[in-house]
């Protein structure tokens, strides 16, 4: 009873704090976490956001021709961890939350990049745009290394080089 009277007193002091949404505008503050938007110009398809995304709302698919970054809004929990992780600052935050759609395809977003194939084994492994970005950032360092070689072949090449260097055989 005492508790109820306290609540009654508080509500009489504060007044109405709820809104008759959707008949009135919603109570969305500037801090409210809503939909993310990926800038197709800034994004290089590095996949850092995919690795950090807790519910796997972001996924990446690499095939012979293309690397496809997919964002499934239906699975997004709007934690914005991807925003903090993106090295390109390519993910914009919004406070959009009215996201109902009639077609499932309308809650899917896709960015498509051309894929690089490994110059040793021919396997598709990363977006061209990412290689270009790495070259731009650390060009001198990577100039003579195996940037167009996939991680597996790079490992094998490095092991062979070390054997040659230290044991005189490859």
In whole angstroms, how close is the CB of 112 to ligand SF4 at the nearest point?
12
Q: Which residue has the tokens 């406070």?
A: 95
Q: Smaller CB distance to ligand SF4: residue 93 or 117?
A: 93
DSSP run (H or E) holding 34: none
- Could you say whether residue 135 binds ligand SF4 (CB under 6 A)? no
Distance of CA 24 to the CA centre of its chain: 34
Among the listed residues 21, 26, 55, 119, the single contact to ligand SF4 using CB under 6 A = 55
Which is it for strands 124-127 and 108-117: parallel, antiparallel or unpaired?
antiparallel
Site for ligand SF4 in 25-44 (CB under 6 A): 36, 38, 43-44
Omega cis (within 30) before 3: no
Q: Which is nearer to ligand SF4, 60 or 156 (CB)?
A: 60
Q: What share of the chain is helix, strand, coil (3-state, %, to 5)?
A: 35, 20, 45
Q: Is residue 62 part of the contact set for ligand SF4 (CB under 6 A)?
A: no
The answer to the question of residue 153 lying near ligand SF4 (CB under 6 A) is no
Q: Which stretch binds ligand SF4 (CB under 6 A): 14-22, 83-91, 146-154, 160-168?
A: 83-91
The answer to the question of residue 147 lying near ligand SF4 (CB under 6 A) is no
For 34-53, letters b (16+ CB in 10 Å) and e give bbbebeeeebbbbbebbeeb
Footprint on this chain of ligand SF4 (rule: CB under 6 A): 36, 38, 43-49, 52-55, 57-58, 69, 76-82, 85-86, 88, 90-91
């Amino acid at each position: 009873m005492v508790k109820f009277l306290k609540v009654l007193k508080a509500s009489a002091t504060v007044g109405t704090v709820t809104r008759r949404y959707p008949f009135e505008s919603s109570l969305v503050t500037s801090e409210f976490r809503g939909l993310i938007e990926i800038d197709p110009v800034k994004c290089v398809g590095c996949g850092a956001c995919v690795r950090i995304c807790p519910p796997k709302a972001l996924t990446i698919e690499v095939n012979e021709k293309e690397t496809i970054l997919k964002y499934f809004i239906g699975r997004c929990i709007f934690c914005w961890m991807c925003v903090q992780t993106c090295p390109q600052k390519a993910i914009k935050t919004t406070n959009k939350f009215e996201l109902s759609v009639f077609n499932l395809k309308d809650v899917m977003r896709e960015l498509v990049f051309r894929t690089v194939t490994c110059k040793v084994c021919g396997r598709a492994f990363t977006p061209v745009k990412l290689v270009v970005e790495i070259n731009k950032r650390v060009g001198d360092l990577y100039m003579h290394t195996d940037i167009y070689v996939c991680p597996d072949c790079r490992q094998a090449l490095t092991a062979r080089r070390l054997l040659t260097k230290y044991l005189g055989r490859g």
